[in-house]
A = this chain, B = another copy of it.
């Protein structure tokens, strides 16, 4: 039940195991008439690909998105948009060892305990490859946002790799070294939504921050989420915090769970990848998930935003 669905009005349903036939997404609730940008979709898929970032991973995946439905003559039809990506580089044989012995730090053991019958190859559906469906769905969400609010922009910035402040050059050195040494790093990613419409979000259980939290913490390897001033907020005096001249920014563009129209800021913390412990991935492990996580977090932010853009239409008479 709905374990693989996200969103309320603009919904995605995802599917696919990392070593099955294909993965994909079904987008339901996208209004008719949205210009569909196939190139943008493929670019987003490519951004998520390991190895796309220089020097990061040797595994090459060709993630060709195929649109099966819901689009006609360059526009959405208001019907479900199905997008699939076939698996090609599977190396299933690498995973025979796992069948006998679950990987430490992965969910192999828990998954087996839960479902009894599992696809042990590459984590099945608990694999990072699952995020491909999110990115495809998020790309469609961005097309809708662009059509409705062209000035609204979703961006991401890597703030930290482990405890090092991020800059591209030192990051590359750090990661190459990590890869050769069998080390891994967590990190910190920031999402910014610029020029969002105001009044998005719903009272009580679907405050924007609640839906963003659900979105981000549904991504594997995430360990914490900060909204606006986040942890800083909890250690400030109220008189300082609320009377800050730039006070709106400490709220992260949200008040009472609703968007104020100011930029929205989220910070997402990631654990170091556990693939360092993975017998199946000797020498091919991903030393830091944060780089690849950027398009995934952006996609999830876009999905929340698209959902609430539509929800907003129901607020008033």
Using CB atoms and an 8 Å cutoff, list the residues of chain A in contact with chain B: 1-6, 8-11, 13-17, 20-24, 26, 28-29, 31-34, 66-70, 72-73, 75-82, 84, 104-107, 109-111, 113-119, 124-126, 130, 144, 147-148, 160, 162-163, 178, 182-188, 198-199, 202-207, 209-218, 220, 222-231, 233-239, 241-243, 255-260, 269-274, 276-277, 287, 310-317
Contact = CB atoms under 8 A, between A and B. Distances in A.
Contacts of A34: 317
Given A77-B118, A239-B276, A223 B229 contact: yes
B115 A162 contact: no
Nearest to A181: B239
A203 B107 CA distance: 10
Nearest to A270: B234
A247 to B, nearest CB: 8
A182 B233 CA distance: 18
Contacts of A260: 110
A14 B80 contact: yes
Contacts of A17: 69-70, 72, 77, 79
7 contacts: A6-B205, A15-B79, A21-B69, A31-B314, A79-B125, A186-B236, A213-B213
A182 to B, nearest CB: 7
A196 to B, nearest CB: 12
Number of this chain's copies in the assembly equals: 4
Contacts of A229: 223, 271
A111 to B, nearest CB: 6
Contact of A258 (B110, B124, B206, B270): B110
Contacts of A216: 213
A59 B10 CA distance: 36
Instruction: Name the residue in A3, A32, A230, A271 with the highest tally of chain B Cβ atoms < 10 Å from its Cβ.
Output: A3
Nearest to A260: B110
A95 to B, nearest CB: 12
Given A115-B77, A147-B317, A186-B235, A13 B33 contact: no
A118 B10 CA distance: 19
B234 A224 contact: yes
A113 B198 contact: yes
A313 B78 CA distance: 12
A72 B123 CA distance: 13
- Scoring A113, A184, A213, A270 by chain B CB atoms within 10 A of each residue's CB, the highest score goes to A213
Given A115-B32, A256-B126, A233 B271 contact: yes
Contacts of A212: 217
A81 B68 CA distance: 16
Given A20-B69, A233-B186, A272 B241 contact: yes
Nearest to A271: B233
Nearest to A76: B117
A235 B161 CA distance: 8
